[in-house]
Structure 1
Amino acid sequence: MNPQEHPELDAFLSRLRRGDVLSGTVAAIERFGVFVRLDDGPAHPLFPGVGFVTAPELTWRHVFDMSDVVAVGERVTGEFLQYDTWNMEARLSLKALQPDPLRSFAAGQEFRGTVSKVVPFGVFVRIADGVEGLIADPDLALVGEEVDVVITDVDLPRRRLVLSVR
């Protein structure tokens, strides 16, 4: 899209700064993201909304179906990330305004969790809703089995919990 053909929309998007909080209504859910009709600013000439949220920016949890997180017509609030000049959209993050669940975990904490996946390098164990950690022993357990674990490391930058068997 050419910003010169839509000066009102370009002016609105150009004024936004990273960290601005924007609200609106979910206008459409597509396989590639969620369109949000913003409360402020002009309508988009082609898309159902000027705001756009990709799957990784919806929530801290892993998402397979974006409809499990939001619904068309739902009110949402997100943090402005950037002006996508190619599509003339405001890229938003809903998860930026939610508490990071990993910050509530610390090394030494003990949990009873459920094995969610076995891979060649280890076993993933779900210890809370949307929170999994890795035990580096692929022969430890089967999917669905419950195990007692201890957190040995919380790596916030890489978004990983390292676990060991208790």
Structure 2
Amino acid sequence: MAETADRGGRTVLETLKRGEVCKGVVSSIERFGSFVDIGGFHGLVNAAELTWAHHFYAVSGIVEVGQEVTIVVLDVDVERERASFSLKALYPDPLEEFARVQFGRVIPGRVERVVRIGAFVEVHENFAGLVPIHELAERDADEPESVLRNGDEVIVEVVGINMHRRRILLSLRP
């Protein structure tokens, strides 16, 4: 998604290619992402494409207006005068490295939140995994809060990783 400010912006749009790496300047910040100006053309970096970080609370915590950034062109639609960009595509996916190194291992984590279906445990600075209720203890716990509290330090086993859905399955069972 983007806006062309003038004919020069349209010319830039027509030269963009998917996968191309470009430099631009953050021109505005919205709750759903930020717009980046590349030679008069303003393309969107959706919030999901800003960072691999597990949590961030505001787009303005990642980029600021006037900041020079390097982006990857994800998509170009000349007819609709739109393009989408990514900042995170420049960096390796930390989940791939995590999966390669940690799958099947027993590792430390911190309980982020306890929910009806189990508990989310931060196992890396960029993501957390779910310990489903049936994996909380030797005997199935009726209430996850009876086993864990927010902030608890725990040792978990990484029993599953779904790369497509970006989900990590954990177990507290010995």
TM-score normalised to structure 2 length: 0.78
Q: Counterparts of 1:36 and 1:8 in 2: how far apart (Å)? A: 15
User: Mapping of 1:78-97 within 5 angstroms?
Assistant: 78-84=71-77, 88-97=81-90
Identity %: 40
Q: How does 1:16-165 map to 2 (within 5 A)?
A: 16-38=16-38, 41=39, 43-44=40-41, 50-61=42-53, 62-84=55-77, 88-106=81-99, 107-137=103-133, 139=144, 140-165=147-172
Q: Secondary structure at 1:99's aligned position in 2?
A: coil
Cα contact 1:53–1:93 (8 A) shared by 2: yes
Contact 2:14 2:78 (C-alpha < 8 Å) held by counterparts: no
Amino acid at match of 1:78: I
2:48 partner letter: P
SS of 1:105's equivalent?
A: helix
| Range moving further from structure 2, 83-92 or 99-108 | 83-92
Query: What one-letter code is carried by the residue in structure 1 that aligns with 2:22?
Result: L
Q: Which runs of 5+ in 1 are unaligned?
A: 45-49
Distance 1:66 1:126 in 2: 22
Partner Cα distance (2:48, 2:152) in 1: 28
Q: How many residues matched?
A: 156
| TM-score (ref. length: structure 1) | 0.82
Unmatched 5+ residue regions in structure 2?
A: 134-142
